[in-house]
Structure 1
Amino acid sequence: MSIFALDSNQVMRLASAVSVDTKTEVDESAAAEIFARAAWTGIAEPGDSVAGALVTSLGPVAALTSLVDSWSIERVTAEAVAGGADSIAAHDLALAFDRWRPRLVSSAAITALRQAARVSARLVRPTDSIWPAGVDDLGVHGPIALWVRGIDAALESLSSSVALVGARAATGYGEHMAMELGAGLSDKGVSVVSGAAYGIDGMVHRAVLASGGLTVAFLAGGVDRFYPSGHDALLGRIATVGAVVSELPCGSPPTKWRFLQRNRLIAASSVATVVVEAGRRSGSLNTAAHAASVGRPLGAVPGPVTSPSSAGCHRLIREFDAACVTSVDEVLELASGMAGSAPQPELDLGVDASSERLPPDQLRVLDALSVRSARTTADVARRAGMSMGTTEGALGLLALEGAAIETEAGWRKQKR
């Protein structure tokens, strides 16, 4: 085996420790795939369509080899087309290689695998029986692999699950509805998906656990470091009787960009999404947009017309044809109506308040900066998962906007 020039026995030991199938011995071929997929989860940022297309067409091992061995762009393109992929633009592929190379460090993949084994996390591949088939609807934007802490039954239940999401700044009314819907769905034998954030998400998970049901939490960072820290005990409980899932390797910190990308997994893995409570610019509306983009039924819980905390839900109902849901039975009706339903319209909500409306490249670079410590451009590029040229351009624009400042030691995020 020739992956990062590592000894095959070492790779097999690492792969076996995180394999889903504990009854079958991991052979050299399976170990190579597990290691390659684990490496890709740290090399490419979530939702990277070029990485998705490359791994799908070449396979994870050959795709990683093309990067490690610095294949020419022409060769990679030809191999990808031969593998059945739609033509990948040479320009896009060149830019992708530039942003992946800073993260091409064998020790990073090894450390992630060892840490995963330490916390009893497993790497779920698309060929595994517990892979959530719904995420395949994301196409090349889908996850290359999923890191999971939890029980198989929780992942298997995703095929009939409902996502309940909402704002962090929840009101008493929103928390009450989250508890009612979460517990009610659990009593009906339906598993519930959410994002483990403060507010609505946390209340949903707690209600399901209190009812003895199955719940799955998708994180925007590694499954070894629960976030938010105030939900450490909650996530620990979910990892014991449900599942905690991420497409990022152990040790990865959550960022604003990753939260937005995490939302697409919440929407795609479930059969319907319901926004319980959300203001006009709530980040949970981003999950609603993802649900619509993959054709999932979308519902929203109405609130007091005078409450700004429900303005986002009212907008979904009024402008984007979200179903008005007020009870568990109406949520179940929404979910059961998925088969044969008309495609959902694409939602352009103009939300994502947390991003301050920054373009994606600038948002990722800003996430990679620190207020206290100066970081070199190369370090920022590696953390953001972007090429040096794109990073330099984004830093320049952020400096013009007063969001970043360059010092002798490097770049820092500017307090605003």
Structure 2
Amino acid sequence: MADLPFDVTDPRLAAAAWTRLAEPGDAAAGTLRAHLGAAGALDWLCHVDSRGWSGRALPAGSVDAGVSPPWEEAVARWLPRLENLDIRRELAVLHSLGGRLVVPGDDEWPTALDDLAERAPAALWVRGAGRLDRLGRSAAVVGMRASTGYGDHVAAQLAIDLAERGVVVVSGGAYGIDAAAHRGALSVGGPTCAVLAGGVDRLYPAGNTALLEAVMAEGVVLAEPAPGSVPGRHRFLLRNRLIAALGQVCVVVEAAWRSGALNTARHAEQLLRPVGAVPGPVTSMASVGCHRLLRDTDAVCVTGAADVLELLSPSGQDLGEEPPVERALLDGLDPLGARVLDALPLRTGATVSNLARAAGLSEQEVRSGVGRLELAGRAERSGAGWRRARDPRGGA
């Protein structure tokens, strides 16, 4: 039985404590919290005896033994971190950085994370001027760290165009595509959200410290693990589910065959979020993951922000007007009109007989054809003959 130095019945302290006790995405911890609440779950854990059983039984029927995880294994994972736990230390670090703890039920809590069910975080450690409940329309833009110039350009331009349309760009703050996406959004004053794999007191990677500070000035940097947590390799894969959940759409710009960005895309698919992939050169190893998504999944081909906006607004609203399509010279004409227009000179007029010879038609067919072309604004008289109108494509 553990006796902790803080009030374990305080829901906020308990929620924060679970981010230190359990690894991100621990379904057993999430199931326990779902049935007992963060404080009740922590109190239950504190009463576990040396044999691994709690002196406080779970409420009858609260956890279905047929689907629940093996509690002995879960408790064995949590108990070593329970010893000497005082989450007030981590909270003091957070507050010294001007950050805040956001827990389920807070006004700022992003309800999109509730889609993660038992794998939802117990709390979020947040820094930045933005607010998580004001993400509005959002798109996760992810990709590989060892990106190419092509990938960086596409990611940045995509983020610029989305930010200008009021879409918040969510990414992981890493080198490569993540950084290009954050920079693109910031370049036009758009808020952006960076999800870290370690504590928010350790801006990682260190080479992106200035970028992440800029993100905090306009948006937010957040993490699920408590301050002081190291961004271990496994935590990058686990944090990807948060990126996928926070984005209403997930776009992969560049990804190798085995890439963390593909892991984010899989999380998005499981959450029923639309997934887009940017195609690249068929010879580029940096794009084989994107091509794999396009070939093997329901991912949509993304070539610009318009494609992402369409995924965000599937009914077509708020997409703006389609750019006008330029008509070709002979568009909209029947075969006779097309042959006559094709025979008409650009400058000086040609007589009906000359046009007939050029088009291989009878003079009667030429007269009929130029008459209809004149009505359509595609032919005009010039002296004793006919020529093309200034805009021979007309408006018909």
TM range (shorter): 0.7 to 0.9
User: Given the superposition, is the C-alpha separation of residues 89 and 151 from structure 1 closer, same or farther in structure 2, using an over 3 Å criterion?
Assistant: same
Q: Distance in 2 between matches of 1:163 and 1:169?
A: 18
In structure 2, the residue corresponding to 1:137 is in which secondary structure? helix
Q: CA deviation at 1:179?
A: 0.9
- Tell me, yes or no, if the aligned pair for 2:47 and 2:56 is still in contact at 8 Å: no
Q: CA deviation at 1:87?
A: 3.9
- Tell me, yes or no, if the aligned pair for 1:77 and 1:87 is still in contact at 8 Å: no
Residue of structure 2 aligned with 1:143, choices 96, 121, 132: 121
- Tell me, yes or no, if the aligned pair for 1:41 and 1:145 is still in contact at 8 Å: yes
Give the match for residue 63 of structure 1.
Answer: 41
Q: Distance in 1 between matches of 2:271 and 2:159?
A: 23
Q: Which residues in structure 2 correspond to 1:150-169 (within 5 Å)?
A: 150-153=128-131, 155-169=132-146
User: Given the superposition, is the C-alpha separation of residues 326 and 80 from structure 1 closer, same or farther in structure 2, using an over 3 Å criterion?
Assistant: farther
Residue of structure 1 aligned with 2:271, choices 272, 294, 301: 294
Residue of structure 2 aligned with 1:328, choices 305, 308, 318: 305
Whether 1:121 aligns to 2:104 is: no
User: Given the superposition, is the C-alpha separation of residues 7 and 200 from structure 1 closer, same or farther in structure 2, using an over 3 Å criterion?
Assistant: closer
In structure 2, the residue corresponding to 1:128 is in which secondary structure? coil
Give the match for residue 206 of structure 1.
Answer: 183
- Tell me, yes or no, if the aligned pair for 1:132 and 1:159 is still in contact at 8 Å: no
In structure 2, the residue corresponding to 1:286 is in which secondary structure? helix
- Tell me, yes or no, if the aligned pair for 1:271 and 1:338 is still in contact at 8 Å: no
After superposition, give the CA deviation of every residue in 1:360-382 in whole Å (9 maximum; x if it has no partner): xxxxxxxxxxxxxxxxxxxxxxx
Identity of paired residues, percent? 48
Q: CA deviation at 1:91?
A: 6.7
In structure 2, the residue corresponding to 1:193 is in which secondary structure? strand
Give the match for residue 52 of structure 1.
Answer: 30
User: Given the superposition, is the C-alpha separation of residues 287 and 109 from structure 1 closer, same or farther in structure 2, using an over 3 Å criterion?
Assistant: same
Give the match for residue 78 of structure 1.
Answer: 58
Amino acid of the structure 2 residue aligned with 1:121: G
Q: Distance in 1 between matches of 2:135 and 2:59?
A: 35
Q: CA deviation at 1:164?
A: 0.2
Q: CA deviation at 1:338?
A: 9.1
Give the match for residue 362 of structure 1.
Answer: none
Who wins on radius of gyration, i.e. which is larger?
Answer: 2
- Tell me, yes or no, if the aligned pair for 1:47 and 1:141 is still in contact at 8 Å: yes
Q: Distance in 2 between matches of 1:265 and 1:149?
A: 16
Amino acid of the structure 1 residue aligned with 2:262: L
Q: CA deviation at 1:63?
A: 0.6
User: Given the superposition, is the C-alpha separation of residues 91 and 177 from structure 1 closer, same or farther in structure 2, using an over 3 Å criterion?
Assistant: closer
- Tell me, yes or no, if the aligned pair for 2:136 and 2:167 is still in contact at 8 Å: no
After superposition, give the CA deviation of every residue in 1:46-73 in whole Å (9 maximum; x if it has no partner): 0100000101110111110111121674
Give the match for residue 337 of structure 1.
Answer: 314
After superposition, give the CA deviation of every residue in 1:323-379 in whole Å (9 maximum; x if it has no partner): 00101111110122399xxxxxxxxxxxxxxxxxxxxxxxxxxxxxxxxxxxxxxxx
After superposition, give the CA deviation of every residue in 1:212-263 in whole Å (9 maximum; x if it has no partner): 0010000000001100000011111112221001111000000111000000
Amino acid of the structure 2 residue aligned with 1:274: V
Give the match for residue 410 of structure 1.
Answer: none
In structure 1, the residue corresponding to 2:13 is in which secondary structure? helix
Q: CA deviation at 1:157?
A: 3.3
- Tell me, yes or no, if the aligned pair for 1:54 and 1:80 is still in contact at 8 Å: no
Give the match for residue 256 of structure 1.
Answer: 233
User: Given the superposition, is the C-alpha separation of residues 43 and 169 from structure 1 closer, same or farther in structure 2, using an over 3 Å criterion?
Assistant: same
- Tell me, yes or no, if the aligned pair for 1:157 and 1:191 is still in contact at 8 Å: no
Higher helix share: 1
- Tell me, yes or no, if the aligned pair for 2:137 and 2:166 is still in contact at 8 Å: no
Q: Distance in 2 between matches of 1:212 and 1:325?
A: 23
Whether 1:134 aligns to 2:133 is: no
Q: Distance in 2 between matches of 1:306 and 1:7?
A: 58
- Tell me, yes or no, if the aligned pair for 1:50 and 1:88 is still in contact at 8 Å: no
Q: Distance in 1 between matches of 2:207 and 2:139?
A: 25
- Tell me, yes or no, if the aligned pair for 2:252 and 2:290 is still in contact at 8 Å: yes
Q: Distance in 2 between matches of 1:149 and 1:81?
A: 39
In structure 1, the residue corresponding to 2:70 is in which secondary structure? helix
In structure 2, the residue corresponding to 1:81 is in which secondary structure? coil
- Tell me, yes or no, if the aligned pair for 1:296 and 1:338 is still in contact at 8 Å: no
Give the match for residue 383 of structure 1.
Answer: none
Amino acid of the structure 2 residue aligned with 1:308: M
- Tell me, yes or no, if the aligned pair for 1:302 and 1:326 is still in contact at 8 Å: yes
Whether 1:43 aligns to 2:21 is: yes
- Tell me, yes or no, if the aligned pair for 1:77 and 1:90 is still in contact at 8 Å: no
State the TM-score, normalizing by the size of structure 1. 0.71
User: Given the superposition, is the C-alpha separation of residues 60 and 226 from structure 1 closer, same or farther in structure 2, using an over 3 Å criterion?
Assistant: same
User: Given the superposition, is the C-alpha separation of residues 208 and 51 from structure 1 closer, same or farther in structure 2, using an over 3 Å criterion?
Assistant: same
User: Given the superposition, is the C-alpha separation of residues 294 and 140 from structure 1 closer, same or farther in structure 2, using an over 3 Å criterion?
Assistant: same
Q: CA deviation at 1:270?
A: 1.2
Q: CA deviation at 1:144?
A: 0.8
Say what the alpha-carbon RMSD is for the aligned residues. 2.2
Q: CA deviation at 1:6?
A: 3.1
Give the match for residue 294 of structure 2.
Answer: 317
User: Given the superposition, is the C-alpha separation of residues 292 and 7 from structure 1 closer, same or farther in structure 2, using an over 3 Å criterion?
Assistant: closer
Q: Distance in 1 between matches of 2:69 and 2:130?
A: 41
After superposition, give the CA deviation of every residue in 1:276-318 in whole Å (9 maximum; x if it has no partner): 1111112111000100011100000011111111110011001
Give the match for residue 218 of structure 1.
Answer: 195
